[in-house]
Amino acid sequence: MLTGSMVALVTPFTKQGNVDYTLLAELIEMHIKQGTDAIVAVGTTGESPTLSHDEHVDVVRATVEIANGRIQVIAGNGSNATAESVQLTERMANLGVDAFLNVTPYYNKPSRAGLLAHYRAAAEAADIPQILYNVPGRTCCDLSTEMVAELAKIPNVVGIKEATGDVSRVKALKDACGDEFILLSGDDPTACEFLLQGGDGVISVTANLAPKTIKALVDSARRGERNQAEALDAPLRELHDKLFIEANPIPVKWAMARLGWINEFYRLPLTSPELESQKAIEAALHNAGLLK
């Protein structure tokens, strides 16, 4: 089941700008030990726009090999060019991934017909579950409930990562797509309520820093334990917010480096956060109890 607490994993780099596979392995092992249900490899938090196609495939391959069946692996296969999305899907189809996560095409603002054709092409490229990813704040196009309902008829389109922050979409999507269609929050600040409204899980940026707490929060919320879920979420609310004080994944990589888990290396055009942002992120880490 592609449900529960999932981490949108960062991609660590070396000083020379290469993928740091040693640190990648350490992060995967940490998530396995902390109870994370699935890893999303090379999504937008994994800096997919700055990785070559070969690197993209290699990171997913390494993630699957390191995980070795101990945790589910979801591979990002999105692009704003349908041919690229199809090619990535085909290249990763034999790696052993449990599902693909396909972000809506960004920048070129496709029409309704274009969105439907894009997702159909990617879904038909491999007989592996596909999760739609709707994040109009970054892509400038929105997957409407009606479009999702149409795409849900494709046998291997099994769910959606919904990152609008609009928790009313949970009921709308359930009504339109049925209870078997998987609803995942892609918005940490509203994830707790999303789950309490009937969501099936979260693909979380904050889980990079607090995997055990996010796992407990998700489990409590899915059981309908509002008080417990909100109590677990409360210390993280400031952190949820500050991890988006600058473009993701800049803040989360800086925070992970501040905790000593990775080296603070990005690929241009991403750079270190501004000093004021660093102070805000550090304060949020302190208030969440992650930095003493």
| DSSP string of 82-136, one letter each residue | HHHHHHHHHHHTTTT-SEEEEEPPPSS---HHHHHHHHHHHHTTSSS-EEEEE-H
Q: What CATH number is associated with residue 167? A: 3.20.20.70
- Please report whether residue 262 resides in a domain: no
Tell whether residue 182 is among the known ligand binding residues. no
Within a domain: residue 109? yes
86, two tokens = 């199809």
128 labelled ligand-binding? no
Distances (CA, A) of 191 to 81, 169, 206: 30, 12, 11
> For residue 195, which of 172, 225, 175 has the smallest C-alpha distance?
225
Query: Residue 85 sits in which domain range?
Result: 4-233
Q: Are the C-beta atoms of residues 292 and 261 closer than 8 Å to each other?
A: no
Q: 61-91: per-residue pLDDT in tens?
A: 999 999 999 999 999 999 889 999 999 999 9
Kindly state whether residue 246 falls inside one of the protein's structural domains: no
Query: What is the torsional sign of CA 178, 122, 106, 147?
Result: negative
Q: Are 167 and 186 in contact (CB under 8 A)?
A: no
261 inside domain: no
Instruction: Answer yes or no: is 139 within a domain.
Output: yes
CB atoms within 10 A of CB 271: 10
Residue 187 lies in a domain: yes
Give domain status of residue 76, yes or no: yes
- Domain-located, residue 181: yes
pLDDT value of position 65: 98
Mean pLDDT, 10 residues at a time, the chain of 292 residues? 96 96 98 98 94 97 98 94 95 98 87 91 95 88 92 95 95 96 98 98 98 98 98 98 97 98 95 98 97 87
- What was the pLDDT predicted at 263? 95
**pLDDT the model gives residue 208:** 98
SS3 annotation, 6-51: EEECCCCECCCCCECHHHHHHHHHHHHHHCCCEEEECCCCCCHHHC
Catalytic residue ranges:
133, 161
Structural domains in the chain (count): 1
Q: What confidence score (pLDDT) does residue 105 get?
A: 83
Condensed to tens digits (0 to 9), the pLDDT of residues 104-131 reads: 888 888 888 998 999 999 999 999 999 9
Residue 46 tokens read as 């994994």
Q: How many CB atoms lie within 10 A of CB 39?
A: 27
Q: Are 90 and 125 in contact (CB under 8 A)?
A: yes
Tell me what pLDDT residue 167 has.
95
Q: Which two tokens mark 31?
A: 């998530």
